Structure 1
Amino acid sequence: MHSSRFFKMALILGLLSAIGPFAIDMYLPALPAIGQSLGADVSAVQLSLTAFFLSLGVGQLLYGPVSDMLGRKPPLYFGLVVFTAASVGCATATNIETLIAFRFIQGLGAAAGMAIPRAVVRDLHTGNDAARLMSLLMLVFSVSPILAPLAGSAVIAVTGWRGVFWAVTLVGLAGLVLIYTMLDETRPVSERVESNLGSALRAYGVLLRDTHYLGLVFIGSSAMAGFFVYLAGSPFVLINHYGLTPTMYSLAFSVNAVAFIGAAQFTGTLGERFGLVHVVKMAASASGVVMFAMLAYYLAGGDQLAVLMVLYFIASAFMGLVIPTTSVLALEKHGAIAGTASALLGTLQMLTGAAAMGVVGLFSNGKPLPMVVGMATGALIGVALTWGTLGGTPSSAPKQQHC
């Protein structure tokens, strides 16, 4: 693929993938304000985040097979229409129960932008080319946790927390325009002939029996789970416990995204030199060591924000190597059902993250330790899964293939 078209595709897919995360990251600085405005406690406000993640995960199970049957673009249109309409509902919610309900619907719509772009990558490439495109996609995708909290803080300062959801509504409309004007269909009619409900169910059966695929999916899921725990807990820990303003919190949150983005851009190069499998082994193990050090620090009574920020910055960099690379490896052998495989991958990641947030939320007290325990647990489970799944796998770079 010509380099300019390569970068154009990464930009389009990254922006579509970022719509759902943008709806998360932009309202993180508003969580304490939402609780005060709607008279809800911390756990109820966090439930609005958990509900979004649950539907974002479950919804992908539908969009993946549908995109194999109907092509990639029709379900993208449908999903973004649902997302946009639900965003209006969130903006006008008068109680926490209504907000939670609309956040759930909003997540169902956003799920299209999470599942389908990965399938498009697999439609076009495998191997190191796929890793390179996926890392570029992650570059654009990861702009969300850098810019969204800052944008959210600015919007909140001017309009209050409801303005965040009106802004997200505009983002949904922009996504619809982007699909119509710039995204080409990558699933030809000839490849959809044998795709139907029965084949989708059979495909899920194949994937659920593929222990190597599931191992790779849960390596990425474990890394994501630790991040989701941080996502849910950090506004209360950094703002209420450490005393940061919403704007300062947004900057602190963005620092970790920079580490993730920067490291992700080396996946293609490192994959060519050492092999994608070896990259995952090294990065997951290093992330586990760093997170174990953070856990030991807090268990020993430490409570310095600088330690939390520095260690999580390093861990985020290693996660930037793990998450896109495991996605590429998981889809490598499932090109014929890429939409379904991508959907199951995304669903399991989101459900794992939502479960981790829910469990840690039961112990949340606004202090760092419960959050750190959840983050470190995700990283250490990821290490165990990495060596259990890839311990005996050759680390040579996979041969590049083109669809």
Structure 2
Amino acid sequence: MTTDRIGDGRIDPMTTGGPPTPSDYRPNAKYVLLLGLMCALPAVTSDIYLPSLPDVARDLGTTTTAVQLTMTGVLVGGAVGQLVVGPLSDRFGRRRPVLIGIALHIVISLLCAVAPGIGALIALRVAQGFFNAAATVVAIAVIRDRFVGSDASRLLSRLMLVIGVAPLFAPSVGGLIAGQWGWRAVFVALAVFGAVLWVVVWRRLPETLPPERRRGAGLRTALGGYGVLLRDQHFVAIAVLPGLGMAVLMSYVVGSPFVFQEGYGLSANQFALLFAMNGVALVGGAQINASLVRRVVPIRILRVALPLLFAVAVVLLVVILTGAGGLIGLLAVLWVMLGLIQFLPPNASAIALSRHGAMAGTAAAFIGAMQAGVAGVVSPLVGVLGGDARAMGLVMVGSTATALLVLALATPAYRRGGWLRL
């Protein structure tokens, strides 16, 4: 079952609840900033805490793998949370679920600040991810309430400019806070960020789902919506791709503190600077994609970007195994790879969302859950395989290879004229 197709990206009045307006086509900078901050909440929650991972391991007397679970726990919690919040946002509108979710994020952040041990911290981080999911699901659903196709992909890419600020500044801010007051103070800062975001959302986020378009409540309705999505094999295949792209990114995120601080001897400040430089690649890739989708439909971009991403991942693994170029060689290839990753989630999400505009919240939740869930399952393999650069490279190659196989075998993207059916 599909509700609309990818074409020129214009709004379908039948799925938005009314005729398009000029502001629908060209959201202003404040609107993009608001949605970007909502999408960035999970990224900030993860990245501001990165420089503290070695300190947490020492302070709580635990292992590298256990500490990395406090990162992947956010993803796993987010995966489950999105599956729950998506149908709720289709039933009760967009504003109420996001305001409740952010409020609970604030409470849980404060509880993380006083966690007595690694077990409690992991559990709280899972809960934090669960409630953070409301911000991401609602932001993406709001976009689908107003846009489809290339317009949606372009707006999602523009959001990456805001989301990309998290890798640029969050680790530096987190390192500074932890250096002055300890790693527990980082969670107090997360609570403050959540409080500010809650006020902004309360005052500025419009309701984009009018009552006449809301779906019925109840478990049966939610399961029915997911049943419709699961029966659309092309939707499922495309929805998996953002998760595999996120698995590549999170393999870098969870592995990099140990690879560069312990493996290459970088200080916390040097690592924060390196992380910021790689954040530039993420932002740059997103903005190139945003410009490109004005002229090229999202599926055509995916058909080229995925093979390139796989090839660069293989080169990265070769550089790691041979030591060619040393640290500079590793960083150069990694920088290119991080830029290419940003061609995956916006385009795949836009394609998948365009197939089920009548239940955008549920579809956005499914995509987000796949993104967080796949990344949450795959990225811990970095720690399991040794937590070093080799382990990080192996997981990246495996994730990109899987994504390419999914696109090639589970969708008609590479068949003659097949991409027109997506």
**Within the alignment, does 1:372 sit opposite 2:399 as a pair?**
no
**Within the alignment, does 1:118 sit opposite 2:140 as a pair?**
yes
Distance in 1 (CA, whole Å) between partners of 2:419 and 2:393 is: 35
The residue matched to 1:325 in structure 2 has which SS?
A: helix
2:62 aligns with 40
What amino acid sits opposite 1:36 in the alignment?
A: R
Contact 1:276/1:396 (8 A) holds in 2 = no
1:184 aligns with 206
1:3-402 paired onto structure 2 within 5 Å: 5-194=27-216, 196-300=218-322, 302=324, 304-364=326-386, 366-388=387-409, 389=411, 390-392=413-415, 394=417
What amino acid sits opposite 1:391 in the alignment?
A: Y
Distance in 1 (CA, whole Å) between partners of 2:421 and 2:328 is: 40
Deviation at 1:13, TM superposition (A): 0.6
Q: Deviations over 1:222-257 (max 9, x none)?
A: 111111111111101110110111111112122222
Q: Deviations over 1:199-231 (max 9, x none)?
A: 221110111121111111122211111111111
Note closer, same or farther for the CA distance 1:259–1:397 as it changes in structure 2 (3 Å cut).
farther
Deviation at 1:7, TM superposition (A): 2.5
Distance in 1 (CA, whole Å) between partners of 2:215 and 2:316 is: 52
2:13 aligns with none
What amino acid sits opposite 2:127 in the alignment?
A: I
Q: Deviations over 1:119-139 (max 9, x none)?
A: 110001112211121111121
Unaligned runs of 5+ in 1: none
The residue matched to 1:243 in structure 2 has which SS?
A: coil
Contact 2:249/2:341 (8 A) holds in 1 = no
Note closer, same or farther for the CA distance 1:375–1:199 as it changes in structure 2 (3 Å cut).
same
Deviation at 1:272, TM superposition (A): 3.0
Distance in 2 (CA, whole Å) between partners of 1:205 and 1:133 is: 28
Contact 1:131/1:328 (8 A) holds in 2 = yes
Note closer, same or farther for the CA distance 1:263–1:357 as it changes in structure 2 (3 Å cut).
closer
CA RMSD of aligned residues (A): 1.9
Distance in 2 (CA, whole Å) between partners of 1:183 and 1:323 is: 24
Deviation at 1:325, TM superposition (A): 0.9
Distance in 1 (CA, whole Å) between partners of 2:108 and 2:223 is: 29
Distance in 2 (CA, whole Å) between partners of 1:198 and 1:263 is: 40
The residue matched to 2:67 in structure 1 has which SS?
A: helix
Note closer, same or farther for the CA distance 1:47–1:361 as it changes in structure 2 (3 Å cut).
same
Contact 1:274/1:395 (8 A) holds in 2 = no
Contact 2:65/2:380 (8 A) holds in 1 = no
Q: Deviations over 1:60-93 (max 9, x none)?
A: 0000000000000111011111111110011111
Q: Deviations over 1:287-323 (max 9, x none)?
A: 1111111112333455822122111111111111111
The residue matched to 2:120 in structure 1 has which SS?
A: helix
Note closer, same or farther for the CA distance 1:144–1:9 as it changes in structure 2 (3 Å cut).
same
Unaligned runs of 5+ in 2: 1-21
Deviation at 1:110, TM superposition (A): 0.7
Distance in 1 (CA, whole Å) between partners of 2:373 and 2:265 is: 31
What amino acid sits opposite 1:43 in the alignment?
A: T
TM-score (norm 2): 0.90
Note closer, same or farther for the CA distance 1:99–1:393 as it changes in structure 2 (3 Å cut).
farther
TM-score (norm 1): 0.94
Note closer, same or farther for the CA distance 1:193–1:53 as it changes in structure 2 (3 Å cut).
closer
Distance in 2 (CA, whole Å) between partners of 1:328 and 1:82 is: 29
Note closer, same or farther for the CA distance 1:50–1:105 as it changes in structure 2 (3 Å cut).
same
Contact 2:320/2:330 (8 A) holds in 1 = no
What amino acid sits opposite 2:342 in the alignment?
A: G
Worse-matched range after superposition: 30-39 or 1-10: 1-10
Worse-matched range after superposition: 7-16 or 164-173: 7-16
Contact 1:23/1:168 (8 A) holds in 2 = yes
Contact 1:275/1:397 (8 A) holds in 2 = no
What amino acid sits opposite 2:206 in the alignment?
A: D
Worse-matched range after superposition: 256-265 or 287-296: 256-265
What amino acid sits opposite 1:94 in the alignment?
A: P
Distance in 1 (CA, whole Å) between partners of 2:63 and 2:181 is: 22
Deviation at 1:45, TM superposition (A): 0.8
Contact 2:242/2:370 (8 A) holds in 1 = no
What amino acid sits opposite 2:401 in the alignment?
A: L
Deviation at 1:361, TM superposition (A): 2.0
Identity of aligned residues (%): 34
